[in-house]
């Protein structure tokens, strides 16, 4: 028996020794591979002087993943590398800049735009890209696009092209805009969770999904009007771009089942019948078509095209510091208290960026680019105070609204010198609420009870008991005071009476088209228009635009760029299979995760929850 123990002990020691040195070897190899990766990416990403723009070539614009205002990165490159959580992103300003430069570049004669990888975008971003495409065409250059299938968002982009081609087994999927949130009251009841809600505003439906099982009549009224305005813009753009009769285009939605049956269920043939595309081509036929357009053969196509990332690298500007600067400061994402990463509008972070711009002598004006559904009232007020200080310093502040600038997004905008929005911007939602969950029932169900004593009627047990009545009264009073403050802020900023603001407030959301009619915005247009206006206000003839952002840690940026820009590695690292149950749970988790963004110290929120998702299937 002792002999057997000795044998096993020796084997175990040998295995332990082997494992120890194997781990050291693994660590050394991993370090070496990471070093090689860093060197490789440094060469690929930063050695821009070797990029050659083809003569008589085509700009290739591939819209991959979500179209965003700012790039968002995982906080840990190793977490991103192992978890495969990095998703493709297209940065809006890069696409616009590349198209506008190419429009005036004699080396570029045409554009190929690809929407096959588009995962989603709010309507304003799609229209914005379309307007840049129109400027490219106005310069006398052609745009062509080809789709394996066209999503609704992808087709809106395609409609701005000269010619659209579709795979014979493809489809154009148009279904209109809609908003169908999930409602969780019954689910929360099963978990015995109570959401204690305090709000002001007839249309302030931000927390309805947590206290109702259906959409309220007021929310339906406001959302139907909003969706109708957005759909009108969509149909106008598509019918104008494709030279279609709008009445006939709308009627097709009523007759699509019969029309599809008439072509034997062939969706590609239906797209041809509706004149949504100019022809059907296989991928090889598409390549032959492009080669003919560029006077080459299929083998020569790669040398005649340049992707927009590479094209921007080839056209990077000089490094001379400009005398006059217009700073673009982003308030992008949910407004939260404290310091926050890119993609979240941290109250401290955005305030610091505005303060830095104010104290920088080269900065003569500021564009506050707002793409936010709102959030913390306290953080919103911190940002607004910096806007006021900028104006007091003599530097004009022009707000350029992106896809949405609602609730807290409007709070921080109201006092700017000018407010610009796109026709499909979602704004307004002037209202406020507070929400504190009560988990007493949940805890009790698993055998946990909360009890105790306090020194005053204001002592309470946190989330383990209902709020005392006095606390509830204080919360409601605070929320009503916050609403009155919101009305006063808008009243002062927009030169309206409080009564006039209240009439269009109460939590209701508006499109940019409606917002200009009711006085919430000054002008309709893109950020380019806002920049020109800021230059006029600052009396600038010569200036440079600088995007005022914090630098991204180099390791996070390198790993992310590898996964996104190098397709092979990206596909391997991002590949994953998700079943229906996974999709459902992810949807529930995403919807409930809004509560994790509630970090206002006073529990007061100016947030448009319905604005937070890529609603309406814009993709």
Report the catalytic residues.
204, 407
Spatial separation of the C-alpha atoms in residues 81 and 74, rounded to whole Å: 9
Spatial separation of the C-alpha atoms in residues 482 and 604, rounded to whole Å: 8
Spatial separation of the C-alpha atoms in residues 191 and 211, rounded to whole Å: 13
Among residues 106, 116, 105, which one has the least CA distance to residue 61?
116
275, 244 Cβ separation under 8 angstroms = yes
Q: Which residue is it, tokens 């790039």? A: 71
CA end-to-end distance (rounded Å), the chain? 71
User: Tokens at residue 524, please?
Assistant: 């309709």
User: Tokens at residue 417, please?
Assistant: 């010198």
Phi, psi of 463 (to 5 degrees): -90, 0
Spatial separation of the C-alpha atoms in residues 311 and 335, rounded to whole Å: 34
Partnered with residue 181 across adjacent β-strands are none
Q: Mapped to the 3 state alphabet, what secondary structure does 292-314 carry?
A: HHCCCCHHHHHHHEEEHHHHHHH
Spatial separation of the C-alpha atoms in residues 210 and 348, rounded to whole Å: 29
Element (H, E) at 419: strand 418-421
Spatial separation of the C-alpha atoms in residues 197 and 483, rounded to whole Å: 15
Spatial separation of the C-alpha atoms in residues 171 and 154, rounded to whole Å: 12
Rg, Å, the chain Cα set: 28
Spatial separation of the C-alpha atoms in residues 287 and 308, rounded to whole Å: 19
Spatial separation of the C-alpha atoms in residues 143 and 141, rounded to whole Å: 7
Partnered with residue 113 across adjacent β-strands are 61, 145
Phi, psi of 464 (to 5 degrees): -90, -5
Spatial separation of the C-alpha atoms in residues 460 and 444, rounded to whole Å: 17
Spatial separation of the C-alpha atoms in residues 158 and 133, rounded to whole Å: 10
């Amino acid at each position: 028996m002792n002999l057997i123990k000795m044998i096993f002990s020796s084997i175990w020691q040998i295995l332990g020794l082997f494992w120890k040195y194997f781990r050291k070897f693994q660590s050394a190899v991993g370090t070496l591979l990471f070093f090689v990766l860093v060197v490789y990416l440094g060469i690929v990403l930063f050695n821009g002087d070797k990029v050659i723009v083809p003569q008589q070539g085509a700009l290739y614009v591939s819209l991959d993943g979500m179209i965003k205002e700012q790039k968002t990165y995982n906080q840990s490159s190793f977490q991103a590398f192992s978890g495969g959580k990095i998703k493709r992103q297209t940065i809006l300003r890069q696409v616009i800049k590349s198209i506008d430069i190419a429009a005036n570049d004699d080396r570029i004669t045409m554009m190929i735009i690809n929407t096959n990888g588009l995962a989603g975008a709010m309507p304003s971003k799609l229209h914005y890209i379309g307007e840049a495409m129109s400027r490219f065409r106005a310069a006398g250059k052609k745009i062509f696009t080809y789709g394996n299938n066209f999503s609704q968002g992808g087709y809106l982009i395609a409609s701005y092209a000269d010619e659209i081609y579709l795979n014979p087994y493809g489809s154009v999927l148009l279904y209109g805009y809609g908003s169908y949130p999930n409602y969780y009251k019954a689910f929360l009841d099963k978990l015995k969770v109570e959401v204690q809600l305090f709000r002001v505003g007839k249309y302030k439906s931000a927390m309805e999904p947590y206290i109702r099982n259906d959409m309220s009549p007021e929310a339906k009224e406001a959302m139907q009007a909003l969706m109708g305005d957005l759909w009108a813009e969509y149909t106008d753009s598509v019918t104008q771009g494709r030279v279609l009769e709008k009445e006939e285009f709308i009627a097709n939605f009523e007759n699509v089942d019969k029309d599809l049956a008439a072509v034997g269920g062939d969706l590609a043939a239906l797209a041809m019948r509706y004149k949504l595309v100019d022809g059907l081509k296989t991928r090889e036929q598409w390549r032959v078509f492009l080669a003919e357009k560029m006077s080459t053969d299929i083998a020569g196509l790669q040398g005649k095209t340049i992707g927009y990332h590479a094209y921007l690298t080839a056209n990077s500007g000089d490094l001379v510091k400009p005398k006059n600067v217009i700073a673009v400061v982003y308030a992008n994402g949910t407004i939260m208290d404290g310091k926050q990463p890119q993609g979240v509008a941290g109250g401290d972070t955005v305030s610091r960026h505005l303060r830095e711009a104010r104290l920088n002598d080269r900065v003569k004006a500021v564009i506050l680019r707002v793409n936010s559904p709102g959030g913390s009232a306290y953080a919103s007020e911190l940002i607004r105070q910096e806007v006021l200080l900028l104006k007091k310093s003599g530097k004009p502040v022009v707000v350029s609204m992106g896809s949405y600038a609602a609730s807290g997004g409007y709070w921080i905008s109201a006092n700017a010198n000018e407010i610009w929005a796109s026709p499909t911007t979602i704004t307004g939602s002037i209202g406020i609420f507070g929400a504190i969950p009560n988990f007493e029932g949940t805890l009790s169900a698993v055998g946990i009870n909360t009890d105790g004593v306090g020194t005053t009627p204001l002592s309470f047990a946190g989330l383990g008991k209902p709020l005392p009545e006095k606390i509830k009264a204080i919360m409601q009073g605070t929320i009503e005071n916050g609403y009155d403050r919101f009305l006063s802020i808008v009243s002062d900023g927009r030169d309206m009476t409080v009564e006039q603001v209240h009439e269009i407030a109460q939590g209701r959301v508006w499109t940019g088209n409606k917002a200009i009619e009711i006085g919430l915005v000054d002008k309709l247009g893109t950020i380019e228009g806002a920049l020109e206006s800021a230059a006029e206000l600052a009396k600038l003839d010569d200036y440079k635009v600088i995007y005022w952002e914090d630098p991204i840690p180099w390791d996070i940026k390198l790993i992310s760029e590898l996964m996104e820009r190098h397709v092979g590695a990206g596909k391997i690292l991002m590949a994953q299979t998700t079943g229906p149950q996974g999709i459902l749970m992810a949807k529930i988790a995403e919807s409930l995760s809004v509560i994790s963004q509630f970090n206002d110290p006073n529990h007061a929120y100016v947030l448009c929850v319905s604005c937070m998702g890529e609603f309406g299937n814009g993709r």
